[in-house]
Each structure stands twice: as structure tokens, then as C-alpha cells.
Structure 1
Amino acid sequence: MKTTLTQELQKSVNLFKALLESSQTTEQVTAIVEAMLQALKNGKKILFCGNGGSAADAQHLAAEFVSRFSFDRPALNAIALTVDTSALTAIANDYSYDYVFARQVEALANTGDIVVGISTSGRSKNVLAALKAAKEKQALTVGFLGQEGRDIGAICDYQLNIPSHETPKIQEGHITIGHVICALIEQQLFSSYAPQPL
């Protein structure tokens, strides 16, 4: 048990070391933050989607925007497309599971909004369909992906690539960088609300 614990923690250490030293990660995060800041300043919203653990990440990050991250400040406009069970089951039943997010994007997204698709494989059909629907609505698209962007990366305006092929490690990277993005946006938009040092 101790060996497995040590091995898994070392994998995480190696992953975050790679992220820390990667100029690509810095460039990708900067571009995503700038796009989100511009959208939010213009009264636009951010929509998140994903499956399984990525669905949990979608809900987690949307909640950080709507509620708060590090300090009290005005709410930010974000929605997780993974939480409306009536919409999800109706769309899956009436159309296909491939369209559970795309139909919501069609209904909710407007020009200038941002749709974030989270997929460790880069091939999730329903996430891909959501981002294609976003393009049709003239919304910007962001992919939180693995080392290779694959099908989803090919259609994204911006992507975050986590340098791993292991789903759990990619997910660790997604939520950690997602938190960094939340922190940067909160600081940029609401610095006057931040607690002042004593």
C-alpha cells in the first residue's frame, strides 16, 4: 500500500513540476484567462460541460465563479450543463446522449459567451457536439484536455493541455489549473474586494 501511495504521489509531483516548467501551460492559461475576463466584462457567461469526473469538474468550476473562490465579491455568470437532470434525460431520450450538452448550448449560449468542454480523452462525442454548437452560436470555445487535444482540440479557440496520458492525472491537472484560472480572474476583476494585509 505504501509503495502505491508513494508512486501515485510521485506521479502527481512530476505532473505539477512539468506544468510549472512549461511555457506552453503559461501561454495557454494566459490566453484562456484573458478571453474569460473579456467575456465577463462584456456581460457574457461561461458554460462548462464534461462527463464523469469531468462533469464534477464542470460543476466545481462553475460554482467557484458563481459563489466565490478566495474572497467575497459579486457573483460571476457561469453555468454547468451537467446538472439539469430533466434536460439531460429528455435530450438523451428524445435525441441521443451525444447531444445532451449541444442542445443546452443551442438554447443558452449567445455570441461572445464561452463554452468550456472538459475531456481527458479529447474525443468525448457530446463535448465535441457542444463545442460545434457553440461555434454555430458564435461563442468562443475552450477545451480542457489531455496531452493531445485530438478531435476536441482541433476545433477549440483555446485549449489547456495537461501533459499526461493517465485520466486521473489529467483530471488532477484540470482542477488545479482551473483553480488557478479562478484565482486570476477573481484578482483581476475584484482586486478592491480582496482582504487587505494587516
Structure 2
Amino acid sequence: MTNQRILSHFQESAELKIHAGAVLAQPIEQAIELMFTALSNGNKILACGNGGSAADCQHFAAELVGRFERERLPLPALALTTDTSILTAVGNDYSYLEIFSKQVQAFGQAGDVLLAFSTSGNSGNVLAAIDIAQERDMRVVALTGKGGGAIGKKLTDADVHICVPHDRTARIQEVHLVTLHCICDGIDVALFGGDVHE
């Protein structure tokens, strides 16, 4: 029984990834183009999200500042989930809803990109960060699931919405990770050409 349950996780994940790849290829390509343009113009990427999505922010920033699969110059990406003094000061003195938006106010500039994660599409502090980003003429790439929620309604035609077609948080997060790797690979190829696997 336990083995079958384990296998069902793998099967559901694999089936969703194949289906999601077909659905999400175009918005992922749009996200790569948007981030490539920003980085080429000397701008940066700020990332925010909660829980497992916070870990995805840090993972993404590490891939850009360090490397993905090839040696290259560091690329400017910042996870807004890591500075415990900022997070606890803003959460305590203002509101948990403002822990990301105040950082976008502090660090975000026109032409930067906000990478916003919310598996439900309804995270209040991520919505607040998107508001500030849009006010600052930043572009938004939102990774969501469950139909996109309030975030899906907030995005404009200038933004990119990558909404995983599933309702289960674990499966959505798994597709978000593959999506991040697609974006990192796409940025590397767009900036530096060729294919590291060739």
C-alpha cells in the first residue's frame, strides 16, 4: 500500500509536468524574454513568496548570482525572503502584509522585474508587492496555480502569468521548480548563446 501511494505521487507529478509543459511553454518563453530584456538593460530581478515559494525565491536568486549550468558573470537577482531583520521589523512594526512591498519600495526601480510566487494566487503580501511593482513601472512574472486567484486578476498585459493547471499545492510547487529551471536556462542561452549540452 505504501509503495503504491509513493508511485502515485510520481505518476501524478509526471503527468502534470507533461500537460503543464504544453500549456505553459508560451508564458515561460515570455518570462524569459522579459527577464532577458531587463538584465540586458542593467536591471535586476526581485523575488517574493511564502513558505515553499520563499525557498523557490532563494533557489532562483542563487542560480542567477552563482550559476545555473555554465560559468558566466553573476546576474543581479535578490530574494526578498531572506533578511530576517527586515522581515521581522516590518512584520512587527507595520504588518506581515507589507514585508515584501516595503522591500520593493526600497530596492525596486523602473525596468526591474518582480518574480512573484503564490500557489493559491491569493497571498496578501505578494499582492501588495505586485501593487508597488506596478506603481514603479516594474514588470511582474507571477507563478501561481489553482486558477490564478486574485493575482491573476491584478496582472496587466505587460506582465506574465504562469499558472499551473492544478489545485494541489505540492504538484504546483513541483511545476514551479521545473519552470524556474526553464527560465534560468533560457536566460543563459539568450544572454550568452549556444547550448551548454552541445
Q: Residues 81 and 135 from structure 1, CA distance in 2 versus in 1: closer, same or farther, beyond 3 angstroms?
A: same
Superposed, 1:1-198 pairs within 5 Å as: 1-22=2-23, 25-156=24-155, 157-191=159-193
Report the AA paired with residue 99 of structure 1. Answer: E
Deviations 1:137-188 (A, max 9, x none): 1111111000411111122211101111000000000011110110010111
Of residues 162-171 and 183-192 in structure 1, the stretch that sits farther from structure 2 once superposed is: 183-192
* SS state at 2:86 partner: helix
Q: Residues of 2 paired with 1:4 and 1:162: CA distance?
A: 23
Q: Residues 30 and 95 from structure 1, CA distance in 2 versus in 1: closer, same or farther, beyond 3 angstroms?
A: same
* Identical counterparts, % of pairs: 42
C-alpha contact 2:69 2:196 (8 A) present in aligned 1: no
Q: Residues of 2 paired with 1:170 and 1:40: CA distance?
A: 27
Q: Residues 35 and 196 from structure 1, CA distance in 2 versus in 1: closer, same or farther, beyond 3 angstroms?
A: closer
C-alpha contact 2:143 2:163 (8 A) present in aligned 1: yes
C-alpha contact 2:121 2:146 (8 A) present in aligned 1: no
Q: Residues of 1 paired with 2:176 and 2:141: CA distance?
A: 12
Q: Residues of 1 paired with 2:152 and 2:43: CA distance?
A: 23
Aligned-residue CA RMSD in angstroms?
1.3
Q: Which runs of 4+ in 1 moved over 6 A?
A: none
Q: Residues of 1 paired with 2:123 and 2:22: CA distance?
A: 29
* SS state at 1:159 partner: strand
Aligned length: 194
In the TM superposition, residue 196 of structure 1 has moved relative to its aligned partner by 8.3
Deviations 1:17-73 (A, max 9, x none): 102333xx1210111111001000000000000000000001001110110000110
In the TM superposition, residue 195 of structure 1 has moved relative to its aligned partner by 5.5
TM-score by length of 1: 0.94
In structure 2, the gaps of 5 or more residues are none
Report the AA paired with residue 80 of structure 2. Answer: L
Deviations 1:70-91 (A, max 9, x none): 0110110100000011100000
Q: Residues of 2 paired with 1:28 and 1:95: CA distance?
A: 35
Q: Residues of 2 paired with 1:7 and 1:153: CA distance?
A: 30
Report the AA paired with residue 7 of structure 2. Answer: T
